[in-house]
Amino acid sequence: MAVYVFGHKSPDTDAVTAAIALAELQKMLGVDAVPCRQGELNPETELILNKFGFDVPELRTDVTGEKFMLVDHSDLKQAPDNCDKGELLAIVDHHKIGDITTPNPIFACVMPVGCTGTVLRILYKDVYKKEIPPNIAGIMMSAILSDTVLFKSVTCTPEDKEAVADLAKIAGIDDPMAWGMEMAKAKSAVEGVPARDLVFRDYKDFDMAGNNVGIGQLELVSLDLVANMRDDLYAEIEKVKAEGNRHSVFLMLTDIMEEATDLMVVSDDPSVVEKAFGKALEGRTVWLPGVMSRKKQMVPNLEKAFAS
């Protein structure tokens, strides 16, 4: 019976490449593992799969009656539907522990590093003592560069840098940072993309003290790219808030060169922004220098603000 490997909803590069890399490792261990995706790929992920010669994983969103593994998340809101009607076998992740529980013991490897790719390298190398195939090394390396925003994010650790240097060698990539810049440009492609698709390109829902809270992020090489789309983006997050009975929807417009985020906010209680970041909204947005990470800088601060 096949075992399906899932990254989170609204997949980013790590969600997709970690599913492929864990499925490959499982195959080496004799498990019939199949990588899946829960949604459309972003242009950066497409570029990476093309470069290293991978097909787009199959689309699946439900695990009723299936055996499955999760990568890059352990939150029910981000997981495939009906997790409780399937059998979860493993979690490999680098986020805070989410709210998924299991009736049986499972394999779990969760580490406080910048990317699931970094955790997977340790599983290949140190836990299962398997050689990483060059094309798998290529996508893992790319995911680390993506998740750590070319090592600039506060989430980046020495293990991530070490992993990129090692994986680049295995993959035969001479200049990983140049490749990372190419990826960043692909990730910044927004022209002609409907506002709704941009909001959901890298989007996660959270439960914060009983409130539904959505946080999307666009990582851009320049905020000029969205200068004439701001009205449309705002209208769209207003819609998303209304549709999902959400308390708040945040859209992080992150300038990866400036290393800052212009945070667009629609909320039942905009004062959470000031509580979380010590800075009030100016109109629709608040400018947050140094903020690039949803998981380390947005989520913990907002959770505290919502709980207070």
Tokens of 172: 């035969």
| Gap between the Cα atoms of 73 and 117, Å rounded | 13
Angle CA 107–166–5, to nearest 5: 30
Residue 159 touching Mg ion (CB under 5 A): no
Q: Is the separation of the CB atoms in 153 and 147 below 8 Å?
A: yes
Residues 221 to 280: which contact Mg ion by CB under 5 A?
Answer: none
CA–CA dist 140, 123 (Å, integer): 12
Q: Is 93 in the site for Mg ion (CB under 5 A)?
A: no
Contact 69, 5 (CB under 8 A): yes
Least CB distance to Mg ion at residue 161 (A): 16
- Side-chain-side CA neighbours of 7 within 13 Å: the count stands at 32
Binder to Mg ion among 44, 66, 72, 255 (CB under 5 A)? Answer: 72
12, 66, 160, 262: residue in contact with Mg ion (rule CB under 5 A)? 12
* Closer to Mg ion by Cβ: residue 19 or 89: 19
Q: Where are the alpha helices (DSSP H) in 148-269?
A: 158-171, 176-187, 195-201, 230-243
Q: Which amino acid is at 210?
A: G
Give the contact letters, 129-158, x = binds to Mg ion (CB under 5 A), - = no.
Answer: ------------------x-----------
- The region of 59-67, 71-79, 227-235, 283-291 touching Mg ion under the rule CB under 5 A is 71-79
Residue 160 interacts with Mg ion (CB under 5 A): yes or no: no
Mask: binding to Mg ion, 21-60, rule CB under 5 A, as x and -?
Answer: ----------------------------------------
Kindly list the residues in this chain that would bind Mg ion in the complex (CB under 5 A): 12, 14-15, 72, 116, 147
